[in-house]
Structure 1
């Protein structure tokens, strides 16, 4: 277990169309033990007017790590945020103490990417207000207010989705794990067959990676099972090697 004086800072990176509000349950549960922060990626949340790029995303994550003042951090990325975190791990290894990939262990290359290219192309054709109503209803129907209201209040970055996934698609597969110097937890919902499709390949490509599944959870595992998701992150953070 990591000594209390050397607990890692934790930076959370949200998924497609969401914002830092996605992590409200995790921040509340972990902040007494760890320095924590959640970012808004470019084009999302408070940065909705900023253009998307993976390079800019790594800069946002890096700034959050620096702001916590604890040296290298544990970065937890979900879906789009997981792939952005892989990019961060490659280009900012000195800032990374550990990596949690949640719903981001599928190759974005080859035939798998085709349906997502189609979705990215269709989203701009649907009025944003209609997409917002659909998302609000979806989240409120499935989850309690304390889990999703921060996400709903922050709004959705539909306008950024084509650019974000346009850059991610075709870019990542298990070979990306070779550029990650820190320990990795691949944390997936048990019932997320698409985004956990390559989890074994991703784990095999790294010398210090393990897979953990959250029972009965789907792609939005931190919404489906917030306590189990938080507990997995907590255990992984406590087990990270001391910085020395």
Structure 2
């Protein structure tokens, strides 16, 4: 099975899947998931590059850490998980972390890819996600149905089942902390995007209702070396549901920024 759990190494207090040799690519997953969400990207990218996919704090095999309240706190936690300049690829909240790293630690980032990233949420969208965060108690496992329906609608699949398993086994306090940080962040600031010095790729699905195509296109337009790709018929879990398209774009971008 493609979503089989993989062995971990320890990277500055985070558990991480590592594979391949060469220039570095770091893969950052979203809230409630774990490094195996990148399994298809790990298989494709590790043929040419050294890939590190950490479990975010409080996810997978990484321990919960206190006082992580902002996206930038999670970015700080990731900094020790890789050595030297790298291509940073993030999905959902992982994309927000990747963009924060590119803005605050440009010497460590050769290029950045933001998959299904949010940007300047509407007040209605912000209220909805913050309400969901406030309902988490950090003790009991949250019902995954709402998240799965937003990500996959009502379609059953191996990808949905894998995400259901991860959402049901993530540490409740780690999930609450990450979801709260995600919910109260509107995405990268305009001035931060305008100040990015590395190439940046923004990808999302044409059927994505929250991290919309308009958001990715707006971020790309603000970024000096930005570009956008909108994947037809894809929604939020695009790296899992549309791996061929995502992998092809990542390999092309990696060849450009890591050469």
Question: Given the two structures, how large is their TM-score scaled by the length of structure 1?
Answer: 0.80
Q: Which residue of 1 aligns with 2:205?
A: 189
**For this pair of structures, how many residues does the alignment match?**
231
**Structure 1 stretch 35-44 or stretch 162-171: which is displaced more?**
162-171
Do 2:203 and 2:216's aligned partners in 1 also have CA atoms closer than 8 Å?
A: no
Question: Given the two structures, how large is their TM-score scaled by the length of structure 2?
Answer: 0.76
Structure 1 residues 22 and 240: CA distance shift in structure 2, 3 A: same
CA offset at residue 111 of structure 1?
4.0
Match of 2:177 among 131, 145, 163: 163
The structure with more helix, counted as a fraction of residues: 1
Kindly indicate whether residue 47 of structure 2 is the aligned counterpart of residue 35 of structure 1: no
Structure 1 residue runs of 5 or longer lacking an equivalent are: 1-5
Do 2:64 and 2:173's aligned partners in 1 also have CA atoms closer than 8 Å?
A: no
Q: Which residue of 2 aligns with 1:217?
A: 234
Structure 2 residue runs of 5 or longer lacking an equivalent are: 1-20
Q: Which residue of 1 aligns with 2:12?
A: none
Task: After superposition, give the CA deviation of every residue in 1:8-58 in whole Å (9 maximum; x if it has no partner).
Answer: 411000011111111111101211111101011122222242233434422
Structure 1 residues 95 and 30: CA distance shift in structure 2, 3 A: same
RMSD of equivalent CA atoms = 3.2
Match of 2:158 among 144, 157, 167: 144
Task: After superposition, give the CA deviation of every residue in 1:45-96 in whole Å (9 maximum; x if it has no partner).
Answer: 2224223343442233222221xxxx31111111111111122112211100
Match of 2:101 among 76, 88, 93: 88
CA offset at residue 201 of structure 1?
1.9
Do 2:99 and 2:188's aligned partners in 1 also have CA atoms closer than 8 Å?
A: no
Comparing both chains, which one has the higher relative contact order based on Cα–Cα distances under 8 Å and sequence gaps of 6 or more? Answer: 1
CA offset at residue 213 of structure 1?
1.5
